[in-house]
Each structure stands twice: as C-alpha cells, then as structure tokens.
Amino acid sequence: MNLQRNPEIVWRIEKRREADVLAAMERGEDVSEHGTVILIANGMMHQLNFVGGRIWALCDGSRSDEELFALLSGEFQVEAAELAADLTEFINDLTNREWLRRG
C-alpha cells in the first residue's frame, strides 16, 4: 500500500530556506540539520530537513515504496544501500508518529 500523509497535519515548504539549502548543497556543505519543511502535528510544530521534506512531499498516496526510492535515487547522489536504509528509517519514524499512513 502506498504511503500517504496524515491529512490532519498542516505543512508547508519554506521556500526561502529551501533555496538557501540548495545553494549550500551546491557548495558541498552539510545541510542535514537545516529544516526546509515545517509541519504542525497535534498543535506542535516540527521541521524536516531537505531530504526528509522531499520524501514527505512525495508521499501523496500515488507512489509505491519502489517508485519513491527510484525517484529519490535520481535526485540524490547517495549509495543505493544508504538511501534505502535512510528511507526505511524515516518512513518507520513517521509511520510510528502516525504522520504517514499506508492506504
């Protein structure tokens, strides 16, 4: 079943931060601690870094995990095994929080 965002969660891409992060990535800097997507779940606000935000944005219920992986491996220059592990960890974390669902 495809991954889908919990519709109760309000979120947005922080466009200016995203542009800054993309520029920093171009320069080869570590941007893993910089949030580019904010989301509000149960009245609390959280943020996702660029990779997490990208996965989150893609989880609209239209893609299988394989399609998600294929899309991300085209966008990020990471070893396949590393990407697969990161993706699994991220999905597990967010499904445990009930921010993502299978449906």
Partner 1 sequence: MADAITEQFSAPLTFNWTLSYRCNFSCSHCYSRDEVGEELPTSDLKRIIDILAGKQVPFINFGGGEPLIRPDLFEIAAYATEKGLNVSMNSNGWLLDLAAAQKLKASGFKSVGVSIDSAEAALHDDFRCMPGSYVKAVAALDALRAVGLRSTMSSVISRINYRHFRELLQLAREHGVHQVYLHNFKCSGRGFKNREELDLSPQEWKDFYVEALAVKAATSDLSISFDDPVISSLPGYEANPLVKGSSCGKLSLHLRPDGDITPCGFIPLVVGNILREDFDKMWYDSPILNAMRSKEAKGKCSGCGAFADCLGGCTARAFATTGDFCEPDPHCWK
Q: Could you say whether residue 6 binds partner 1 (CB under 8 A)?
A: no
Q: Which residues contact 39 (CB under 8 A, 6 or more apart)?
A: 9, 10, 11, 45, 46, 47, 48, 56, 99
Instruction: Identify the sign of the CA torsion 28, 34, 37, 41.
Output: positive
Q: Min. distance of Cβ 35 from partner 1 in angstroms?
A: 4
Say whether residue 33 binds partner 1 (CB under 8 A).
yes
Q: Which of 2, 4, 6, 47 binds partner 1 (CB under 8 A)?
A: 47
Closer to partner 1 by Cβ: residue 33 or 66: 33
DSSP 61-84: SS--HHHHHHHHHHHS---HHHHH
Which of 3, 5, 17, 87 is close enough to bind partner 1 by CB under 8 A?
17
Query: Is 12 among the residues that bind partner 1 (CB under 8 A)?
Result: yes
Q: Which residues of the chain form contacts with partner 1 (CB under 8 A)? A: 10, 12-17, 32-35, 38, 40, 43-49, 52, 93
